[in-house]
Structure 1
Amino acid sequence: MRNRSFVQPVFLILFLTLLSDVYGQGGLFEAKEPMAIEMSFSIKQLKTETNDSTFIDSQMIVESANGQKDTLDIEIRVRGNFRLENCFYPPMRVKMKKKEAANTVFKGDRNLKLVLPCSKAKNAGNYLGREYLAYQLYEDITEYTFQTRPLRVTLTDTDSKKAESVELLGFFIEDDDDVADRFGGKILDDKKIIPTLMEDSATVRHDFFQLMIGNTDWSGLFQHNEKVMMLDDKTIVPLAYDFDMTGLVNPPYAQVNRNIGVERVTDRLYRGFCRDPALLQAIRAEILAKENQISETIEKNSVYFGESDAKACKLYINDFFDILKSDRLFEYNVLNACRSNSAAQTF
């Protein structure tokens, strides 16, 4: 007579293994290969009938690694400012109910940001790919990042008379609360935190990263394109996001703030606050040691943009490492360019 207490767990393990194969129970962000999704909705309705608190019902078809497709009921809304007003495809937020996400890769990530190309131009996906690259480079620099997952999106705009589908590159970004839960922390919304009060090493790594990708479109104090996360009563770290207005991406719609002395989006300007020079030198050495790793990250993600874009990204990042390798350039671009505490009230 068989021992039922043994047989039942075996079948349970086989069943859970099957679920894992079908749905990818390892988690949405544990895999880096592109996920295939299909969406169909009215872009006009999305832009006119949703806002920060209003969603519309929709569906998302998700294709698993073995080719099985499952339809999930979701809610979607617009988000953001500049791209919402200036892009054909608006940035979105996707939300699903707990029961809908059960037994899927979305189980622990039911609220997500969805990033799509700005325009319908043929090369728009290249800029999106370069923006996704920026998130991967950020992971090379610091542990405090939003997780991302690349997507192959089949999108049907129901406003179109032909209702033709288009194939787009996109990516999901982890929700604010989920990244805070991952670190056992808390997002401090709508609070002005002077950057010099944030954890030194994490903040300097963040500031070096922003210099690396040529980003001046951020503010820690005013939480512009940045969140701040409290890990404990004494430790606050920055969480950067939204890297399209950078020299690394260099999209045609990019704008710069000439009030800070930047003429082109590809111009670099160190926006970090002054710290102990010894700390700045230590982080300099730390990032210099990652040059090969960063080069490999660019190469690995070059599948998301063209060959000329890959070359441009490599040259742009090489210029950053030229700054780190030269004592003269490092002194001029970082040590002498850092912002004093009196600048805390400006972008």
Structure 2
Amino acid sequence: MENRWLFLGVAGALCAAVPGSAHQGAAGEVTPLFADDSIIVVTLTGPVRGIARRAQRSTKPHDARLDAAGESHAITLAARGKSRRERDKCRFPPLRIAFPDKPGKQSLFYRQGRIKLVTHCRDVDAAEQTVLREYAAYRLYNRITAESLRVRLARIRYVDDGEVVATRLGFFIEDGDDAARRLGMKEIDTGEIPVASLDQGDAARYALFQYMIGNTDWSMVIGPQKSDCCHNSRLLGAGRSARTGLTPVPYDFDAAGLVDAIYAEPNERLKTRSVKTRVYRGFCAFNALLPAEADRLRTLRPQLEAELAATPYASATTKQEMLSYLAGFYDDIGNSETFKARLTGRCR
């Protein structure tokens, strides 16, 4: 049958390179914050209005307080990110929380030094649905591989000078070093790298996932500055000096078609008119590994659909739109002709 064009012998021969298989046995400690999927209730108290108002020009940290799970912690709070700090795009920036005093072993925030918080862009329900869509994108990759950044959904109350500024959903993102520790690996700090430095199976999985969610705002080999790798990606390896067999781990999916953020803009270099237009940006070096990974994603389809359908607080419309967008991906990998025309035939 046409939709079973993948030859099982090829899949078997490539099984040693199937993404996620190389490091699974080395899994280790999970920080408490990301050991549970339940939604936590958080209060952030500090100069929230000023941080938001000055976000475009300042990422200066400010003293604040975090209350959650019966705990209270002195923290610093700062705007972070790039496009979402622009005032004409977002009225409320993503935040970085830092703990000057390390929380103890019994704390939910044990081992959290600095942590990213994804927030609502504007204080409206539609912006909150965007948060949930991006959360769902992370959860999809969690389903696909352990070599991903975990996330934790939170209901956050923002308090400034005794007044509740907003109460909205947001989510915390696991730090790269914590993900590396969990996987028995190390986060790699390096500049531009050659494609050959990557674990080819892991990189093929990464590229196919980015196509799945319709994201083109990434690079697994170079950053905005050549001395800083990589754009919206972390690199993990066997040790900090490793320069081969590196695993790219993606983050920051707000420009993806699955998320379809109101402020997201198409990639100018690709000349697309909508962020929902999928463009495959994987390297031709991965082509031999893509069929096996595509076959694996077909097997995972029920789990991925269930993950989207179970997104907490997502509206029926949001869930249906995400499921429909995912279905478009499966149409693209449904037979050899579309697979070549839209993926392997458009590699870099």
TM-score w.r.t. length of structure 1 = 0.82
Q: Which of these residues, 289, 295, 309, is aligned with residue 318 of structure 2?
A: 309
Q: In structure 2, what is the Cα distance between the partners aligned to 1:253 and 1:309?
A: 17
SS at match of 2:66: strand
Q: In structure 2, what is the Cα distance between the partners aligned to 1:99 and 1:279?
A: 43
Kindly tell me: are residues 280 and 136 of structure 1, through their superposed partners in 2, closer, same or farther at Cα, counting changes over 3 Å?
A: same
Calculate percent identity across the aligned residue pairs.
Answer: 29
The equivalent residue for 1:231 is 238
User: Is 1:111 matched up with 2:114?
Assistant: yes
Q: In structure 2, what is the Cα distance between the partners aligned to 1:195 and 1:36?
A: 42
Identify unmatched segments of 5+ residues in structure 1. Answer: 1-24, 340-347
User: Are the equivalent residues in 1 in contact too, given 2:266–2:273 (CA < 8 A)?
Assistant: yes
The structural deviation recorded for 1:98 is 4.4
The equivalent residue for 2:91 is 88
Q: Which of these residues, 328, 336, 340, is aligned with residue 319 of structure 1?
A: 328
Q: In structure 1, what is the Cα distance between the partners aligned to 2:346 and 2:93?
A: 35
Task: Give the aligned residue type for 1:35.
Answer: I
Moved over 4 A (4+): 49-52
Identify unmatched segments of 5+ residues in structure 2. Answer: 1-29, 224-229
The equivalent residue for 1:8 is none
User: Are the equivalent residues in 2 in contact too, given 1:43–1:89 (CA < 8 A)?
Assistant: no
Q: In structure 1, what is the Cα distance between the partners aligned to 2:31 and 2:172?
A: 16
The equivalent residue for 1:122 is 125
Q: In structure 2, what is the Cα distance between the partners aligned to 1:262 and 1:149?
A: 32
Q: Which of these residues, 148, 153, 161, is aligned with residue 156 of structure 2?
A: 153
The equivalent residue for 2:18 is none
The equivalent residue for 2:34 is 29
SS at match of 1:80: coil
User: Are the equivalent residues in 2 in contact too, given 1:90–1:118 (CA < 8 A)?
Assistant: yes
> Greater Rg, structure 1 or structure 2?
1
The structural deviation recorded for 1:337 is 0.8
User: Is 1:136 matched up with 2:143?
Assistant: no
Task: Give the aligned residue type for 2:342.
Answer: N
The equivalent residue for 2:346 is 337
Kindly tell me: are residues 290 and 45 of structure 1, through their superposed partners in 2, closer, same or farther at Cα, counting changes over 3 Å?
A: same
Q: In structure 1, what is the Cα distance between the partners aligned to 2:171 and 2:124?
A: 18
State the structure with bigger RCO (CA 8 A, min sep 6), 1 or 2: 2
TM-score w.r.t. length of structure 2 = 0.82
Number of corresponding residues: 305
The equivalent residue for 1:279 is 289
Q: Per-residue CA shift, 1:257-312, capped at 9, x if unaligned? A: 232132200000001101254311111111111111111111121x3321111100
User: Are the equivalent residues in 2 in contact too, given 1:131–1:244 (CA < 8 A)?
Assistant: yes
The structural deviation recorded for 1:165 is 4.1
